[in-house]
Amino acid sequence: MTGLLYLIPIALFLGGLGLAAFLWALRSGQFDDPDGAAARILLDDDLADEDQDKED
């Protein structure tokens, strides 16, 4: 049972990592445009070359 002494902190740390990631995502606007994010993966090829340069 002594394994628990480090297993519980590890579990908590991993959970905390997930929570921190969620809060970061929330703060940095990842949830601002869910529909757009899903659609944008299909883009890029349609843009003309000059537009892609501007994108950078």
Partner 1 sequence: MSAELTIKSGAAGLGCPSGLEPGAPDVLGEESALIDPAPFVRRRNGVSELELAVFGAKCAGCIAKIESAMKKLDGMERARLNLSTGRLSLVWRGAAFAPRMVMQALTEAGYRAAPFDPAAIESDHDTEGRFLLRSLGVAGFAMANVMLLSVSVWAGGADMGPGTRGLMHWASALIAIPAALYAARPFFYSAWNALRNMHANMDVPISLAVILALSMSVYEFFAGGEHTYFDAAVMLLFFLLIGRYLDHRLRWRARAAARDLLAMQATTARRLGADGVIEPVAARAIEPGDRVLLSPGDRAPVDGVIVEGESHADVSLVTGESAPRKLRPGDEIHAGVVNSSARLVMRARATVENSLIADLARLIEAGEQSRSRYVRLADRAAALYVPIVHTLALATFLGWWLVFDAGVRASLMTAVAVLIITCPCALGLAAPAVQVVATGRLFKRGVLVKSGDALERLAEADTMVFDKTGTLTLGRPTLTNREALPAGALEDAASLARVSRHPLSRAVVEAAGPGKAAEGAVEFPGLGIEGVSGGERIRFGSAEWVGEVERVSDGDGAALETWLRRGEAPPVRFVFEDAARADAADVIRQLSDRGLSLELLSGDRKEAAAAIAERLGLPAWRAGVSPQDKAARLGELRAAGARAAMVGDGLNDAPSLAYAHVSLSPGTAADASQAAADFVYLGGGLEPIAEAVDVSRKARRRVLENFAFAALYNACAIPLAVLGFVTPLIAALAMSGSSMVVTLNALRLSANGPGGGDSAERSP
Interface contacts to partner 1, rule CB under 8 A: 1, 4, 8, 11-12, 15-16, 18-19, 22-23, 26, 31-36, 39-43, 46-48, 51, 54
**Closest approach of partner 1 to the CB of residue 6, in Å:** 12
**Closest approach of partner 1 to the CB of residue 54, in Å:** 6
**Closest approach of partner 1 to the CB of residue 22, in Å:** 5
CA dist 36 → 3, 31, 41 (Å): 46, 10, 9
Contact 47, 40 (CB under 8 A): no
